[in-house]
Amino acid sequence: MKLLAAAIAIAVGALGPGIGIGLIGSKAVEAIGRNPEATSKVQTGMILAIVFAEAIAIYALVVALILKFV
């Protein structure tokens, strides 16, 4: 049962950030396509948002590891 809980935790925890990163990337490409002069500002914001989204996935991984080994 603990393994199932860990699998669900990482699956759900990685699904949200995966979708979020895809949306961030697509909107950044659209913004750069509309205004190429703002590339550096868009890239900075995009990378920052991706880092925050990826941190949520890392939290889910930590929770899954705790469920598995504790």
Domains of the chain: 2-69 (1.20.20.10)
Token pair in block for residue 48: 């920052």
Report residue 47's pLDDT band, with 50, 70 and 90 as the boundaries. very high
pLDDT at 45: 94
In the numeric block, the tokens 């703002």 are attached to 38
pTM of the model: 0.81
DSSP code for 37: G
For 5, other C-beta atoms within 10 Å of its C-beta total 13
Q: Decide if 16 contacts 45 (C-beta within 8 A).
A: no
What mean pLDDT do residues 45-58 have? 94
